[in-house]
Amino acid sequence: MGIIDKIENLQQPCFYKLLTGYDCPGCGLQRAIIALIKGNVLESIKFFPALLPLAFMFGFLIAHSIFKFKRGAKILTYLFIFNILIIITNFVYKFFI
């Protein structure tokens, strides 16, 4: 059994989905991370479209905290808004599909 198989076995069910029957805004994140680790980028985007933009945003956040970019805070604000819009759009899409 490989490390990816062990990670897959550790996945937790979504409490929100168990209670309501509907996906929460974060549903698919665990599957998306595993798909990305396996190299399935398109499958990862299908599970949770905001994963790559979120990873970029956190990477930029770390870089900004180290290098103190001149407009870093403003860029982070725009990245945050962009990610929230992706998550909300995906949530609404899953709700109606």
Q: In 3D, which of 4, 20, 23 has the Cα closest to residue 94?
A: 23
pLDDT digit string (tens) for 12-52?
899 999 999 999 999 999 999 999 999 999 999 999 999 99
| pLDDT of 61 higher than 70 | yes
Q: In 3D, which of 57, 60, 36 has the Cα closest to residue 46?
A: 36
Single pTM value for the model:
0.89
Percent of the chain with pLDDT over 70: 99
- 57 close to 79: Cβ distance less than 8 angstroms: yes
| Residue 24, pLDDT score | 93
pLDDT band, very low/low/confident/very high, at 2 (cuts 50, 70, 90): confident
DSSP 3-state assignment of 97?
A: coil
Q: Tokens 């949770």 sit at which residue? A: 48
